[in-house]
Amino acid sequence: MKHLLSPLDLSVEELDDLLNLADRIVADPKKYSHCCDGKKLATLFYEPSTRTRLSFEAAMLNLGGSVLGFASADSSSASKGESVSDTIRVISCYADICAMRHPKEGAPMVAASKSSIPVINAGDGGHQHPTQTLTDLLTIRSLRGELGNLTIGLCGDLKFGRTVHSLIHSLIRYENVKFVLISPKELRIPDYIREDVLDANNIEYVEVEQLEDVMPKLDILYMTRVQKERFFNESEYLRMKNFYVLNAQKMQLAKPDMYVLHPLPRVNEISVEVDDDPRAAYFRQAQYGVYVRMALIMTLLEVEVN
Amino acid sequence: MKHLLSPLDLSVEELDDLLNLADRIVADPKKYSHCCDGKKLATLFYEPSTRTRLSFEAAMLNLGGSVLGFASADSSSASKGESVSDTIRVISCYADICAMRHPKEGAPMVAASKSSIPVINAGDGGHQHPTQTLTDLLTIRSLRGELGNLTIGLCGDLKFGRTVHSLIHSLIRYENVKFVLISPKELRIPDYIREDVLDANNIEYVEVEQLEDVMPKLDILYMTRVQKERFFNESEYLRMKNFYVLNAQKMQLAKPDMYVLHPLPRVNEISVEVDDDPRAAYFRQAQYGVYVRMALIMTLLEVEVN
Amino acid sequence: MKHLLSPLDLSVEELDDLLNLADRIVADPKKYSHCCDGKKLATLFYEPSTRTRLSFEAAMLNLGGSVLGFASADSSSASKGESVSDTIRVISCYADICAMRHPKEGAPMVAASKSSIPVINAGDGGHQHPTQTLTDLLTIRSLRGELGNLTIGLCGDLKFGRTVHSLIHSLIRYENVKFVLISPKELRIPDYIREDVLDANNIEYVEVEQLEDVMPKLDILYMTRVQKERFFNESEYLRMKNFYVLNAQKMQLAKPDMYVLHPLPRVNEISVEVDDDPRAAYFRQAQYGVYVRMALIMTLLEVEVN
């Protein structure tokens, strides 16, 4: 029995296998349209997340399976005081695999320890969101052809953004990856990433405050949202907020084969004028998210298609 | 790519085609039970509406397709500040067609402009609700054999009732349609319908306050709810409220082949004693609503069955 | 047309047929995986109950059917003032069978009287929850081989627990069933069960306060939750609460072939240390709940598999 709780649960080899399967699905989705016939996915969302939930549901439906579950804790037995351990044991009677989003860190891990079906962590508080990382990796590899030999710009809230941390963790396993960390001082990457991950592995990186300065170097620009309330004071916020808004003007500084990613939803950190730029890849990223989840479900259910 | 945003998006010919397809589905539903196998409908309900949502879901399931979505804005990404334009671009990666209900007028139109899948307006505020109109038209045509040569009574709140306005707009395209507009003064049909639609097209109509007076003339009686809070004063409400309650006594005045429609839900404007009258067609109308949505989904997805 | 509104709607013969069908499903679930292809179950949950709802949904999906519905009254037309009678008439146009949970006693019966599809009562207030009873009966019969010749311990809140009352009603129809009623005085079985059901049918039973005293005699121990707020005073609660917590120590007193059931969710009335005891059957019970609902849906839809 295998679960997916953290992006690093998968070795580089396992990840390659998963992304290769995703590539085969992208190339011929029809071939996989019945491989999970009769299988059921439970979506246990103790915290609403329409995008992630629907991405999982679309993935399972694309494989011929079906879906049951709940979209928020209000309509779950959690309100009756049931533990996650008990819930997963019951859900194991109802479904073949489950995707769990929970506001408490570690809840999917607790569930996995008692589950007789594979558990996918669909986000646990600020902790992990491994299928977002898989989505990011498939998107980058599909657009650039490889996960190594890249200069990756990470822009915005690098302190609290769990997707950014997971992406760094995953990408340092590939050769010749350099990071450009673009953020206000208050939202710089935390020490346990800078020192324990980047420095400890001799990864090349720079930290800057302005996006414009580094645009020409980037192969990938991964944008995230900068929430106003993260800043220490209003004047700092006003001084810097435009540094982190990607617009057509800044895009002119970028390479022709640079791609922009964003985990979505965006608020205003990418101007809508950028949407029509062929390098804007954030909506394609949502599509890759479905394909990588199809590959993940197949892998965890040990379903094979010849 | 075609969407359905307003009832008038369809020409008379397109509407005939749609209703003819619905007729063929009514005659042999099994024949269509796999024509959308592998297709997915997204139901994006930013405002709850069980009846409309389930009617769409039943329609898609009857065609062999599957369904994903959300039933209220609470469990959607709207609460994270995402625009409808962004949401629809992501949903386009998850589904083949979508039905959107939104409290803001025009939201489905904005969505359609950015969507790569067909968007069906499932109700936008007080504005449009085109699949209700299609339901009404299929019901009338099925029960009476044609959409022309009819005297249609519209009863209740003719001022705010969007279904009534859409029905008038649609029916004036057929020959020899006469309207009997039955409402309290405060809730009469607005000028932009009376003058710009009825008068401008030389449509025959009368406006009356009492339902009983006109019952014998009607071929169709379309009932709507009169909400107490719409009246200017309590005494007016008390004086008139019974004018607009359909009961067995009033039904005795009607022709034997007159049919009663209602968009539902009803509260008390039709007595339950009328339910068993063979001319009470409002529950059959709900059934026609499923068939016409099946025809609509097939049409927008360009699915054909020989 | 048949509905399931009360556990006693089924005669002993009909119940035997249903449980026999469930046995055949347990033995070869794949054989039944397409017998409801094209059929739709509506889950109308006016009150949230994830476990029950998902159990019904899993059952229908296992039979090849599909599911639509709502998980709470907020997202239903009930908030617009529609009666259950009207709702079910509309739902009859959308689905082939429905499971209804409602906070008001008798609501499913009202629905059934107007429905053109089978209605399953999935819990109406504190009144009935017949599919829980069917689940309990299938579990007991599967584990013990028969429903007669058993000593059944019922422990906890015997006053308000509807599942306990239904179980007594159902089991007295079998030969040589004895009850051991274990509860605090405040939560003893009500007179209308003790006198009108047990005494009137000459059923053997004892009433005790301590679980430990009677453990060695039991063939089945059916645990329920004792809610603190049910007690008249705090000191009574403190004196007795441990009487009703099942732990490994108490399990040592039980027969090797005694089984523990619980309708779930549990809070703390069964220690987690008991979960690994092979006699702990409450999670298997959840699995039997799916099988018995599969048998019920097939029976009400009159679907047969050779």
pLDDT, tens digit, for every residue of B68-117?
999 987 755 556 678 999 999 999 999 999 999 999 999 999 999 999 99
Say whether C76 and B48 touch across the interface (CB within 8 A).
yes
Chain C residue with the nearest C-alpha to that of A84? C265
Residue C2 belongs to some domain of the structure: no
The fraction of chain B above a pLDDT of 90, given in percent, is 81
Residue B107, SS3 per DSSP:
helix
Give me the pLDDT at residue B226, please. Answer: 79
Closest C-alpha to C82, from B268, A40, A283? B268
The answer on whether C151 is annotated among ligand-binding residues is no
Q: Which of A31, A51, A104, A255 is catalytic?
A: A51
- Tens-digit pLDDT profile for residues C276-286: 999 999 999 99
Contact indicator for A262, A224 with CB cutoff of 8 Å: yes
Q: How many CB atoms lie within 10 A of CB A159?
A: 17
Beta carbons of B154 and B222 less than 8 angstroms apart: yes
Q: Note if B52 is an active site residue.
A: yes
Q: Which residues of B touch A (CB under 8 A)?
A: 38, 40, 42, 66, 68-71, 74-77, 79-82, 85-87, 89-95
| Of the listed ranges A64-78, A114-128, C20-34, the one predicted with least confidence | A64-78
My answer on whether C209 and C272 are in the same domain is: yes
* C89 and C146, same domain (yes or no): no
Q: pLDDT for A156-200, tens place per residue?
A: 999 988 899 999 999 999 999 999 999 988 889 999 999 999 999
In this structure, the answer to whether residues A115 and A141 fall within a common structural domain is no
Please report the pLDDT score of residue A1 as a whole number.
Answer: 58
Catalytic hit among C39, C101, C165, C293: C101
Subunits with 3+ Cβ pairs within 8 Å of C are: A, B
CA atoms B251, C88, B152, B288: torsion sign:
negative
| Contact residues, chain C, for B54 at CB < 8 Å | 42, 68-70, 91, 94
Q: Within a 10 A sphere around the Cβ of C258, how many other Cβ atoms?
A: 21
CB C88, CB C69: distance < 8 Å: no
- Tell me the CATH number at A276: 3.40.50.1370
pLDDT at A141 over 80: yes
Q: Please write the tens of the pLDDT for every residue from B165-187.
A: 999 999 999 999 999 999 988 88
Q: Is the alpha carbon torsion for A131, A134, A135, A136 positive or negative?
A: positive
Q: DSSP secondary-structure letter at C254?
A: S
Contact: B77, A49; criterion CB under 8 Å? yes
Say which DSSP state B194 is in: I
* Residue contacts between B and C (CB atoms, under 8 Å): 65
DSSP state of A150: E
Whether C101 is catalytic is: yes
List, for residues C112-159, the tens digit of each pLDDT value: 999 999 999 999 987 889 999 999 999 999 999 999 999 999 999 999
- Report the run of H or E that residue B154 belongs to, with start and end: strand B150-155
* pLDDT band, very low/low/confident/very high, at A77 (cuts 50, 70, 90): low
Nearest CA in chain A to B86: A265
- Is residue C52 part of the annotated active site? The answer reads yes
Answer with the residue of higher pLDDT: C37 or B239.
Answer: C37
Q: Integer distance in angstroms from the first to the last C-alpha of chain C?
A: 22
Are residues C22 and C145 located together in one domain of the fold? no
CA atoms within 13 A on the CB side of A1: 14
User: Does B2 map to a domain?
Assistant: no
User: Any catalytic annotation for residue A50?
Assistant: no
The answer to whether residues B274 and B228 touch, using CB atoms and an 8 Å cutoff, is no
CA distance A15 to A1: 17
Is C15 part of any domain? yes
Confidence band, pLDDT 50/70/90 cuts, at residue B267: confident
Which residue of chain B is at minimal alpha-carbon distance from A50?
B76
Among residues B43, B52, B87, B163, which one is catalytic?
A: B52
Whether residue A280 is found in the same domain as residue A137: yes
Report the pLDDT averaged over residues A21-41. Answer: 98
In a domain? residue C58 = yes
Give chain B's largest Cα–Cα span: 60
Consult the annotation and say whether B141 binds a ligand.
no
pLDDT given for residue C1 in this prediction: 58
Most C CBs within 10 Å: which of B60, B61, B72, B282, as the mutation test of the C interface? B61
Q: What average pLDDT is seen over chain A?
A: 93
- Give start and end residues of each alpha helix (H) in chain B: 12-27, 50-62, 84-94, 107-114, 130-144, 162-171, 191-193, 211-214, 234-240, 248-251, 282-300
Q: Is A233 exposed, middle or buried (0-12, 13-18, 19+ CB in 10 A)?
A: exposed
Task: Give which of A141, A134, A144, A140 is closest to A154, Cα–Cα.
Answer: A140
Least confident interval from A31-40, A231-240, B7-16, C192-201: A231-240
- Predicted confidence at residue A75, as pLDDT, reads 56
Chain B residues lying within 8 Å of A289, measured CB to CB = 93
Q: Give CA–CA dist A54/B42, Å, rounded.
A: 9
Q: Are residues B75 and B58 in the same domain?
A: yes
Confidence of residue B34 (pLDDT cuts 50, 70, 90): very high
Q: Using a CB-CB distance cutoff of 8 angstroms, which residues of chain A are in contact with residue C29?
A: none
Say if residue B112 is in the same domain as residue B47.
yes
Across A6-23, average pLDDT: 96
State whether residue B106 is helix, strand or coil: coil
Per-residue pLDDT of A83-112, as tens digits, reads 999 999 999 999 999 999 999 999 999 999
Kindly report the nearest CA distance between residue A282 and chain B, in angstroms: 9
The set of residues, in sequence order, having a beta carbon less than 8 Å from that of C83 and lying 6+ positions away, is none
The per-residue pLDDT for B76 is 59
C75 pLDDT exceeds 60? no
| pLDDT given for residue B80 in this prediction | 66
Q: Please report which residue ranges of B47-161 form alpha helices under DSSP H.
A: 50-62, 84-94, 107-114, 130-144
Torsion from C-alpha of B23, B28, B29, B32, nearest 10 degrees = -90
Say yes or no for a CB contact (<8 Å) between B42 and A49: no
Pair (B110, B170) in one structural domain: no
Q: With a cut of 70, say whether residue C31 has pLDDT above it.
A: yes
Nearest residue of C to residue A96, measured between CA atoms: C58
**Do A229 and A143 sit in the same domain of this protein?**
yes
What percentage of chain A has pLDDT greater than the value 90? Answer: 81
Report which of residues B32 and C233 the model is more confident about.
B32
C101 is an annotated ligand-binding site residue:
yes
In percent, how much of chain C has pLDDT > 90? 82
Q: Which of A20-29, A137-146, B47-56 has the lowest mean pLDDT?
A: B47-56
Number of independent structural domains in chain B: 2
Which of B39, B61, B80, B85 would best serve as a mutation to test chain A binding (most A beta carbons within 10 A)? Answer: B80
- Looking at residue B36, the DSSP 8-state letter turns out to be T
Interchain proximity B93–A50, CB inside 8 Å: no
B141 as an active site residue: the answer is no
- A interface toward C at CB cutoff 8 Å? 38, 40, 42, 66, 68-71, 74-77, 79-82, 85-87, 89-95
What is the arithmetic mean of pLDDT over B131-149? 98
Identify the residue whose tokens are 């540094």: A243
Residue C305 counted as domain residue: no
CA distances A249 to A27, A253, A268, A285, Å, are 35, 7, 15, 23
| The pair of three-digit structure tokens given for residue C132, joined into one six-digit string | 């829980």
Alpha helices, DSSP H, located in A158-272? 162-171, 191-193, 211-214, 234-240, 248-251
* Torsion sign (Cα): C235, C236, C239, C245: negative
B132 annotated among ligand-binding-site residues: yes
- Amino acid B25 reads I
Let me know whether B88 and B152 are in one domain: no
Task: In whole angstroms, give the CA distance from residue C98 to residue B54.
Answer: 13
| Domain match, B57 and B111 both | yes
Q: Which helix (H) or strand (E) holds C162?
A: helix C162-171
Residues B100 and B17 in one domain: yes
Residue C230: pLDDT band by 50, 70, 90 thresholds?
A: low
CB A191 within 8 A of CB A198: no
Residue B276 makes CB contacts below 8 A (sequence gap 6+) with none
Whether residue C306 lies inside any domain: the answer is: no
- In this predicted complex, what is the ipTM? 0.94
Cross-chain Cβ contact A86/C55 below 8 Å? no
Nearest chain A residue to B88, by CA:
A283
Residue ranges making up the domain that contains B204: 131-286
CA–CA separation, C128 and C121 (whole Å): 8
Residue A1 lies in a domain: no
- Residue-wise pLDDT tens digits, C166-176: 999 999 999 99
The band of B275, judged by pLDDT with boundaries at 50, 70 and 90, is very high
- For the stretch B194-237, pLDDT in tens is 999 999 999 999 999 999 999 999 999 999 987 766 666 778 77
Distances (CA, A) of A289 to A163, B173, C56: 14, 47, 30
Which residues from B are below 8 Å from C when comparing CB atoms? 33, 45, 48-51, 54-55, 57-58, 61-62, 66-67, 71-72, 264-267, 272, 283, 286-287, 289-290
Q: Is residue C207 part of a domain?
A: yes
Contact B94 A50 (CB under 8 A): no
DSSP run (H or E) holding A300: helix A282-300
Between A268 and A197, the higher pLDDT residue: A197
